[in-house]
Structure 1
């Protein structure tokens, strides 16, 4: 691509970022496809649009003759846009719609305003790129951080997530408390089992050689 063509595309992109429609009679502006909802920044209505209203023009929302907004008609199609639409003033004389450079109050493009918009967009891209690099660096640092190994299965070691570490500690403390509270009961049961076993076993007399049978 030639240098001149790249410059044309860059200029086109710059214009699109701040180019909007100014409503006159509404005949040339499509409700759902053109940026006409604001005179401060390009704003195209968001749907969903019904199949009947997909090709609706702004002139369909204006009362013929008076040039006022047809509020009942607006309520039936894009009711959520009513507050924004009422901020706009259609042409009373029926002037045609026009494009305006919204980065200036006059609506006319100037080199100074174009340079300002281009610089603002460039700075925003730099900030976004820097933020992405910082997030990527944090992600790599998190991946390279090795957690301590608490147990192993055979010769393999499995590092645990910090939440797993906390749960493991809590479970260990709980088991230790249970064992300590029941250790004496366990000992008593074991001793009673041994005594019962000894008492239930038959007593055998000693055997001497030569004794009468």
Structure 2
């Protein structure tokens, strides 16, 4: 009983106060109700993030049900690869705090992605180049624009929605960003829940 109470206190504190600007860290938590795992992905999506993500997933001994995301984004290619894995394995995705920039792709790849009522997803026009060095905005006439539409169509099974999301991204050059939250989530077909992480363990 004491352990269960400590577990319920620790998880939200970890999610809320960890900073998404550092390299991503991974943790898993057992759900006693069905013996499945919640896996948290917390931090920056680096170039080699997919291999780190898959290695962590492969080392889990119990079935994974939910991928809980908290990230300020990072590199697009590994974010899409993570999204491919999540989509192919029909994992659920959740955001409780924030999921910005490239974090959008794994979030939308999930089976029934859910944004909690106090959470936010912020998107902007993609960059090319090294993060923090020779970054340049991408443009709609480049190949990435159509690639993102194809991938998001695959993840959401809704080409019109995928096209609208990518268009909104490209209409929002950094440092500006477009926020998706409980107020406008319906416009983007994202389910919002008032039940936080504690309701899933």
TM class, shorter-chain normalised?
under 0.3
| Higher share in helix | 1
| Higher share in strand | 2
When normalised by structure 1's length, the TM-score is: 0.25
When normalised by structure 2's length, the TM-score is: 0.26
Larger Rg: 1
